[in-house]
Amino acid sequence: MWHGVPMPKKLQEVERKYDVTESTVSPSFEGLAAITRIEVIEPQQLEAVYHDTAGRDLSRNRIVLRRRTGGDDAGWHLKLPADGDTRIEIQATLSDTVPDELRDVVLAIVRDRELAPVATVRNERHLQRFYGADGALLAEFCDDHVSSSSDAGEQNWREWEIELGAGDTELLDALSRRLRDAGAEPAGHASKLVRALGTPPPAPELPEEPMHRAVAEQVAALIEWDRAVRADQWDSVHQMRVTTRKLRSLLREAEDSFGLADDSWVLDELRQLAAILGVARDAEVLAEKYQQALDELPPELVRGPVAERLVGGSRHRYEVGWRRSVAAMRSERYFRLLDALDELATADPVDADGSGDDPGNLDGAYKRLRKSVQNAHAAERTPDRDEALHRIRKSAKRLRYSAAAVDRRKVYEAAKTVQSLLGDHQDATVSRTYLSQQAELAHAAGEDTFTYGVLYQRETELATQRRAELEPALKKLKKAFRH
């Protein structure tokens, strides 16, 4: 089950489409080495009702959602773009309304806008299936006689389609040559929906101003990682959190250019979204860290059910955090944040003081970093040391993102090194706190706590090493900034 509903079926689809006239004669596929048997299927009568928002948000993102009846794959189909001739198709059982599990995949695009019928396509399909020596279905050839109705009017056309099964691209090329030799031309449309409705409105062009371009790129990345998080793909929570933080840093560095105040609700919502994602991300980091550490320890040093507590417990916390993240990503509050980010990404820069200053100037970001370094030196022998080092990391991260936006590669790389070192330090700090808590629970349960101490010492040594590497990294950053 998937959030209380059946898990959708996910397929990888590799196909090529061709335009032909009504009088074009279908070619023979005899003689192709890989094919040992050709099955001719009785003509199928198919009907597909395509759904989209009023603004054609799915079409703009090269996504197709249809309800198909007839044939052997009746049901709901959601097609997502991939590379080249490949698309990802997610299927759900036939129902009267758009299935929740399909809508959720594209929720960051459609948000709370209605998905309604935009076109109906009827198709008489003449189908041939090609099998190999082992009986595997290698590919299918579809000769489609199509009619469509939509607000764009009525249309009729014929097209050919080759869809790859277990065959390879060499077979796909050979079949394609047969079609071209018979007079077919590569289709002038990406899908039947595009032919029925016409080319969708183009996506907004990326801004020329570097900081605005960087924000627009990160908004697009956020939408992509949103889909990956919903599918619970590995490392997706981390990447979405990083993207959220990048957006917040970029907007803060150029807040005047975007017409934002430091207490803007957009910045606050991005901060809170990153915090929600952080619950799952931190648990994911700890689970991987402890699994690797325990694998590296000699067996005699691993005593008691430490793996169950550390690895299993962290994985459970990840699951809870992931579900909380997805719940937040289904809220109206999240949709309004995405709306606001879209507007910021496409709006003209605001020159608040009329100075025309470059919003990508790194001086302010670097000054904040230097200030955080000074504060960390003052807190060196106090209980606030680790938090002060963490603030250096945050400043380095903001500097890194701004440097990337204005193509200061050396500053970007040097800031990334500082951020990485202090990221390891912060992970070790969080881990030691967690190890202490788990050791107390294990002790109360009468378990051997020896291994917790071993792991704690490893984290202490890692943190010490990263602090020792920090000053050389900061000097390198200073040099990169001045040049």
**Do 308 and 402 sit in the same domain of this protein?**
yes
Running along the chain, 483 residues long, what does each successive block of 10 average in pLDDT? Answer: 48 90 95 93 96 94 95 93 83 96 96 97 96 95 96 94 93 96 93 89 80 91 96 95 93 76 86 96 94 96 96 96 97 97 83 47 86 94 94 92 88 95 94 96 96 97 96 95 86
**Do 407 and 307 sit in the same domain of this protein?**
yes
Q: What is the DSSP string of 174-225?
A: HHHHHHHHTT-EE-SSSSHHHHHH-SPPPPPPPPSSHHHHHHHHHHHHHHHH
Q: Is residue 1 part of a domain?
A: no
**Do 216 and 152 sit in the same domain of this protein?**
no
- pLDDT value, residue 375: 95
Q: Is residue 63 part of a domain?
A: yes
- Give residue-wise pLDDT tens across range 355-408: 444 445 688 889 999 999 999 999 999 999 999 999 999 999 989 988 988 889
How far is 480 from 276, CA to CA, in rounded Å? 34
The residue from 197, 227, 246 where one domain ends is: 197
**Do 24 and 147 sit in the same domain of this protein?**
yes
- pLDDT value, residue 123: 96
* Residues 108/339, Cβ–Cβ less than 8 Å: no
- pLDDT value, residue 360: 53
By residue range, what is the domain housing residue 282?
210-482
- Give residue-wise pLDDT tens across range 50-86: 999 999 999 999 999 999 999 888 999 999 988 777 8
- pLDDT value, residue 94: 95
Q: Is residue 445 part of a domain?
A: yes
Please count the CA atoms within 13 angstroms of the CA of 155 that sit on its side-chain side. Answer: 19
Look at the alpha carbons of 272, 277, 278, 283 in this order and tell me if their dihedral is positive or negative.
Answer: positive
Name the one residue in this structure whose structure tokens are 């009267």. Answer: 96
- How many domains is the chain partitioned into structurally? 2
Q: Is residue 403 part of a domain?
A: yes
DSSP 8-state assignment for residue 305 = S
- pLDDT value, residue 348: 75
How far is 483 from 480, CA to CA, in rounded Å? 5
**Do 25 and 101 sit in the same domain of this protein?**
yes
| Cα 1 to chain centroid, rounded | 22
* Residues 405/211, Cβ–Cβ less than 8 Å: yes
**Do 84 and 28 sit in the same domain of this protein?**
yes
- pLDDT value, residue 11: 75
- pLDDT value, residue 249: 87
Residue 478 belongs to domain with CATH number: 1.40.20.10
**Do 223 and 158 sit in the same domain of this protein?**
no
- Give residue-wise pLDDT tens across range 231-240: 999 999 999 9
**Do 318 and 402 sit in the same domain of this protein?**
yes
Q: Is residue 299 part of a domain?
A: yes
The residue from 197, 221, 243 where one domain ends is: 197
* Residues 175/17, Cβ–Cβ less than 8 Å: no
* Residues 51/111, Cβ–Cβ less than 8 Å: no
**Do 192 and 277 sit in the same domain of this protein?**
no
pTM to 2 decimal places: 0.83
**Do 46 and 188 sit in the same domain of this protein?**
yes
**Do 219 and 190 sit in the same domain of this protein?**
no
